[in-house]
Structure 1
Amino acid sequence: MKKSIVWMASYPKSGNTWMRIFLANYVANSAEPVSINQAHRIALGDSITKMYQMVAGRPVDPENIEHMLQMRPHVLRGIVANNADINLVKTHNARVVARDVPLIPEDLTRSAIYIMRNPLDMVLSYARHYGMSHEEAVYTVSHPDNANPPDAETVTQFMRSWSDHVRSWTTGKSAYPVLVLRYEDMLADPKTCFAKVVEHLGMPVDEARLDRAILFSSFKELSEQEKKQGFVEKSEESERFFAKGQKDQWKTDLEPRLVKQMKHAHRKVMKKHGYLE
């Protein structure tokens, strides 16, 4: 079997959707923006219950975590069975072993793109997306056993704390290349960052095509599309998916005591990646 999976990995609310919509527009190379509700076709999600049902050939119970983990290798092999050179797969899982099952198996992996975001901003989006208070979100993203619980649509995602997640994808020896990007750099210099992604995937970088894909995946465009047609990835707990997409919102929106808690919990990793002044 080919090592064809290119993981599009991130902690939730860190820019993964933006990246996938950019790639959908770059690949399509169309004169009109790709619909945000079609962009998911560019990258499969690794935790979609329907995929587990397809592999099992019958209904499955996402709440049976042990069974879902046992099925995961078969689901991932099913993805690479198309013999394509590249299969983009979105994941919020940490690069860890869960109950003896490697969540990101080397034998199927070609490479990875890892997107991180300042956790002080991420936690605000996290709270809104999951319908939590800021205090609850700070506690959740700082907990070593943080996981998204299963539901009818998705199986469990094992994320751990923000720091654990970042370390899992960015440190230690890797059997495959990992392109690490910061959300803030994507905002400040999208052309450079997105060109790196195109090159990482082995595609030619065409400047006009790049500019158009960046324009078609701008926050203004995505927000307008969501207003008109809604967005399939929006959670029921949040009013909208594309809220502000800015940086440094924490300076006005996150209570100082919670800022202090986040910095205490994640200081080492924040400092390493330039998130502490």
Structure 2
Amino acid sequence: MKKSIVWMASYPKSGNTWARIFLANYMANMDRPVPINNAHRIAMGDSITKMYERVAGHPIDVTDVDAVLRLRPGVLRGIVANNADVNLVKTHNARTTARGVPLIPDQVTRSAVYMLRNPLDMVLSYARHYGMTPDEAVHVVSHPDNANPPDDQTVTQFMGSWSEHVRSWTAKAPYPILVLRYEDMLSDPRRSFAQLLAHLGMPVDPARLDRAIRFSSFDELSQQEKAEGFIEKSPESERFFARGESDQWKTDLPPRLVKKMKHAHRKVMKHYGYLE
């Protein structure tokens, strides 16, 4: 079995979609932006219900978590069966096991890109995306059993708390893991995205890099979403691409919730420069 999967991993609302749209534009190398509703083709998701039904050979009950997990090894084998050197796969799953099933098995993994974001900003975007209050979002992203429940389109995604998720993906691994901070992607996109390309073994062409960054800017993505909608938008939220800024928490997250988040995630926040 070929080790061809490069995981594009993150906690929700941490820059995964942005990075994939950048890659779509860089690879396409066109004189106009790639439509955002085509960009998902650059990295398949690991939790798409249809993929599990294809392995099962029939419709599945996505609420039967154990049965779905038993199908996961077959889904991942199906991804690597094309014998490609690299298969980009998006995931929000933690690098852990769920009910005895490895979610990110070494046997199919070539490398990983892990994107993380200041959890004080992430939790605000998380709340908007999932139709939660900030209080509810602070609770769930700090809970060890946090998971995205299944629906017709996706199976359960096992995330755990933000700190657990970050630790799982940044722990020692038998393959390379590139860690990118969302804030660095914002402040120095040329450096961050050049690192991403180099990690994937792609040549870094400066003009092409600048064009792909411009074509994946938040202004561009917001305009496209306004005009055409976005297939990855949650039905609970008004839009997917909101402000896309850093330090929104300073004005938008109540001090008592800031205190709760810092208490729950202090060690990991400090390690990645999110606490003085």
Aligned residue number for residue 177 of structure 2: 178
1:6 aligned partner = 6
Distance in 1 (alpha carbons) for counterparts of 2:186 and 2:52: 35
Give the Cα–Cα distance (whole angstroms) in 1 for the partners of residues 194 and 220 of structure 2: 20
State how far apart, in whole Å, the 1-side matches of 2:74 and 2:130 are: 29
Cα RMSD (Å) of the superposition? 0.5
Aligned match of 2:112: 112
Measured after TM superposition, the shift of residue 180 of structure 1 is: 0.2
Shift of 1:116: 0.1
What's the CA shift for 1:204?
0.5
Give deviations 1:24-76, integer Å, cap 9, x for gaps. Answer: 00010111100000000000000000111111121111111001100000000
Q: Deviations over 1:207-239 (max 9, x none)?
A: 111000000000000000000000000001000
The size of the alignment, in residue pairs, is: 276
1:161 and 1:249 map into 2 onto residues whose CA distance is 21
CA distance in 2, matches of 1:24, 1:99: 35
Q: Which whole-Å CA distance do the structure 1 matches of 2:266 and 2:197 have between them? A: 32
Residue 78 (structure 1) shift: 0.1
Within 5 Å, give how 1:65-104 maps onto structure 2. Answer: 65-104=65-104
Q: How does 1:1-277 map to 2 (within 5 A)?
A: 1-171=1-171, 173-277=172-276
Name the aligned partner's letter for residue 23 of structure 1: L
Runs of 4+ in 1 over 3 A off after TM superposition: none
Task: Please list the CA deviations of residues 112-150 of structure 1 after superposition, one character each: whole Å capped at 9, or x if unmatched.
Answer: 000000000000000000000000000000001100111
Q: Give the Cα–Cα distance (whole angstroms) in 1 for the partners of residues 207 and 62 of structure 2.
A: 44
The amino acid that maps onto 1:185 is D
One-letter code aligned to 2:51: M
For normalisation by structure 1, the TM-score amounts to 0.99
Q: Secondary structure at the match of 1:181?
A: strand
Name the CA distance, whole Å, in 2 between partners of 1:220 and 1:48: 29
**Long gaps (5+) in structure 1:** none
Partner of 2:78, secondary structure, is: helix
Offset of 1:185 from its aligned partner?
A: 0.3
Secondary structure (helix, strand or coil) at the match of 2:35 reads coil
- Aligned with 2:168: secondary structure? helix
Q: If the length of structure 2 is used for normalisation, what is the TM-score?
A: 0.99
Percent identical among aligned pairs is 75
C-alpha separation between the residues in 1 aligned to 2:189 and 2:129? 24
Aligned-pair CA distance for 1:274: 0.2
**SS of the counterpart of 2:132?**
coil
* C-alpha displacement of 1:17: 0.2
Distance 1:54 1:190 in 2: 38
SS of match in other structure, 1:232: coil
